[in-house]
Structure 1
Amino acid sequence: MAEHPGLFVTFEGGEGAGKSTQIRRLADRLRRAGHDVLVTREPGGSPGAEAVRHVLLSGAAEEFGVRMEAMLFAAARNDHVEEVIRPALESGAIVLCDRFIDSSRVYQGVTGNLETDFIEALQRVAIDRVVPDCTLILDLPAETGLGRARRRAADAAPDRFEREEIETHEKRREAYLEIAEAEPQRCRVVNAERAEDEIADEVYAIIEPLINRSGAPEPTETENAE
């Protein structure tokens, strides 16, 4: 576990994996139990990072190449960490983040064909030792996830990443699974093809023991009534 009184949990996975839904459900459950919970996201999460988010997801930076995109992601992440995540963890909060370092490793590193050493150097500077205590990788076939994402967006135009080929999305899925295999103490793979309730129960079962180990307050009787 990291050297701070809070708990840092990141959610990863491809497009349409259900990260936002499961983060919301976990946050609601933890708050009902009396925990201080911060929900955030990447790219974004702080005023400076949100400004960069628009540039990245609109595709405005695409013409400058994936290396420039990776540096923009790192700059946004550093602002997010220093302005939002680190202070929350130091105050003892449980931080739930939609995407973090593994997204850069997968999106810019694996499918962006950037060198691993370059990506890892960017990450070291961006996060400055703020590493997730647990990363939940919501896993499902790329075609299923893209279908969900497109139905969710309805009439909205697909973003920079949703426009890419199915083969690229499937390659990202494989990359996430490889990260989980390489770092089993930090990463847990959750089957995201199941019903929301079933997924939510598994997510909570993974996180609950970590809360007690982190020194956060014990769950109240409100949680036991659920």
Structure 2
Amino acid sequence: MIRRALPCGIALATLCGWPLAAAAAQPIDAVSQAAVTWLQTHRALPGTRMVLEAAPLDSRLRLADCPSPLDASLPGNRPLNARVSVTVRCPVPGGWTVRVPVMVKLFAPVLVSSHPLARGDGLGATDVHTEERDVATLAYGYIADLEQAGGRALARPVNAGTVLTPGMLAGRQAVRIGDAVSMEASVEGVVIRAEGVAMGAGDTGSRLKVRNASSGKVLDAVVRGPGLVAVLP
């Protein structure tokens, strides 16, 4: 009995010793790099230094090679924090989508208190200094310069070396410590005016102490407006 040799097909390729042509796969490193590159291009801020590290993807992940450039985005236009998840997809019909976790460090100059500050204190050049900090970890924001403080006083005391945040600021200051102020006092319907020096700071309606420039006497007063206080009886 004569047996004819069967032609080697795909099912018999291994037995025949023929190599199988594997489907082209998308390099996993390229997917991670697409996420990092997108963040560097679209989320870098002027005056900041960004350090990014993509978390390793599952080594068992198998993705078909994408014939088009990979597309990346941050869902919901979310702000940057210490860890974000970037969506990377192959933008073709039936293409795949992968979420890439990325650790973010975003270094920027911020204002830090140079010495302990009390509630009601204004912020001057001698009260603060600039340090580079990772602002991605500052959940309550930060103040980059004195102009951002806009003449406002502190709403609470802060220790030396504290990163200043917008939430630490109270209302704007109509009077600052050391300002020359016009003091008014009403005595039996007669308004008496004198010059003084503010020993505290605050916006209109704030109570503070003032020192009479002539007598040196310290008085309690209420801020009525910029440079103007009403002495309390």
Give me the TM-score of the superposition, normalised by structure 2: 0.22
Larger fraction in strand: 2
Structure with the bigger RCO (C-alpha within 8 Å, sep 6+) is 1
Larger radius of gyration: 2
Larger fraction in helix: 1
